[in-house]
Amino acid sequence: MTQFLNKLKQDILNKIKDANNLKTIDEIYRAYLGRKGELTKVLRSIKDMPEKERIKTGKLANQVKKEIEEVINAKKSKLQTISSQLPDKEQIDVTIPGLKVPRGHLHPITLVQREVEEIFQSMGFSILDGPEVETAHYHFDALNIPKDHPARDVWDTFWLKDFDLLLRAQTSPMQVRYMEKNNPPLRIIVPGRCFRRDATDSTHDFQFHQFEGLMVGEDISTANFKAIVEEFFKRFFSSSDIQTRLRPSYFPFVEPGFEVDVKRKGNDWLEIMGAGMVHPNVFKAVGYNLKDWQGFAFGAGIERLAMIKYQIDDIRLFFNSDLRFLKQF
Ligand code: YSA
């Protein structure tokens, strides 16, 4: 029996040595020290042995059991340490510091648009949205630009269907859409995206944003226009000495017409908006009585305002997705 036990012990120790995972160690334990394990069976049989044999075998068997248990425990904890160091999808380390999720922010054009909306809202204007795909009727005819009028060339843009549907080149069509459905007195602004076949340069892009303004009442005059835009510029640029100038200009849907420039830091002027007193033909197109109403309208470039406010010298920076630029806002 002594020989058998020593051989058994050596076999078990060899198997423990070769085991390279916890599952195998558990299997070894069950095979030899479990309820039906081989060593357990020997230990159970001791009580039936003759006394001399019983004392000798009992002592040896218990020694073997103790030694095997110690070796198994040592190997187990070694394997546990190794497995905790292995990358394991199931493993969660609750002590790892949380990953910082970068927070996004609004695009500078959205920031400027919201600021514009806030200022005009505080002066009693409502904010409207208009379609980016327009009909030739609202974009041209109803704005006093009939077919073959040379002014169509200025806004000749991205046509979508048989010279009837187009990507709008200006927000002015919304003047007509709104006045058709609403009677004066009225004050609205309409911010939105526009598209033009303009060659891109530092102040022009083929895609940009405008906001249309329209104020109609019984005795709205150019003086009201000047007062409103000057107040707007003062608040938008947070400065009472911002320099602006009004230049005569031509738009078929106003009479008289002008353009408004703002002085940039580098001392040159940047055109910000086209404007004027709403042309009688536009009032006729929406069914207003010419004797009762007059008003002004304007269309301003949002990118141009942002360029002056943030001193940006190239409009193309807004949409070329350069994070070094965008992260500054
Ligand atoms: C005029 C009279 C009204 O009663 C109402 C509105 C207007 C403005 C007219 N609809 C218009 O679009 N005039 S505009 O061609 O001179 O453009 C107005 C503003 O849009 C410009 O002053 C400029 O700030 C901006 N803009 C025009 N083309 C641009 C542009 N911004 C960037 N890129 C372009 N390609």
How many degrees, rounded to 5, is the angle at CA 213 between CA 207 and CA 214? 140
- Among the atoms of ligand 1, which is closest to the Cα of residue 300? 19
CB 327 within 8 A of CB 250: no
- Among the atoms of ligand 1, which is closest to the Cα of residue 171? 10
pLDDT score of 87? 65
pLDDT score of 129? 97
Write out residues with Cβ below 6 Å of ligand 1.
170, 172, 196, 198, 204-205, 208, 210, 251, 253-254, 271-276, 297-301, 303-304, 315
Domain edges within the chain:
2-90, 108-326
Alpha carbon distance 316, 313 (integer Å): 9
Q: Which runs of consecutive H residues, i.e. helices, occur in the chain?
A: 2-18, 22-33, 38-45, 51-85, 108-122, 136-139, 151-154, 173-181, 222-236, 280-286, 302-310, 323-326
55-99: pLDDT as tens digits = 999 899 999 999 999 999 999 898 888 877 766 566 677 888 889
What spacing in Å lies between the alpha carbon of 208 and ligand 1's midpoint?
10
pLDDT score of 240? 81
What spacing in Å lies between the alpha carbon of 107 and ligand 1's midpoint?
21
pLDDT score of 90? 65
At how many degrees (to 10) do helices 22-33 and 51-85 cross? 170
The 3-state DSSP class for residue 295 equals strand
Residue of the CA atom closest to atom 28 of ligand 1: 204
Query: For the chain, which ranges sit under pLDDT 70?
Result: 86-91
pLDDT score of 81? 84
Q: How far is CA 184 from CA 138, 187, 215, in A?
A: 19, 8, 9
Task: Ligand 1 pocket test: pick from 273, 277, 279 the residue with the most ligand atoms within 8 Å of its Cβ.
Answer: 273
Residue of the CA atom closest to atom 29 of ligand 1: 204
What spacing in Å lies between the alpha carbon of 41 and ligand 1's midpoint?
98
Measuring CA to CA, which residue among 196, 214, 208 is closest to residue 109? Answer: 208
What pairing do the DSSP bridges indicate for beta strands 244-249 and 254-263? antiparallel
CATH superfamily of 108-326: Bira Bifunctional Protein; Domain 2 (3.30.930.10)
pLDDT score of 89? 63
pLDDT score of 182? 98
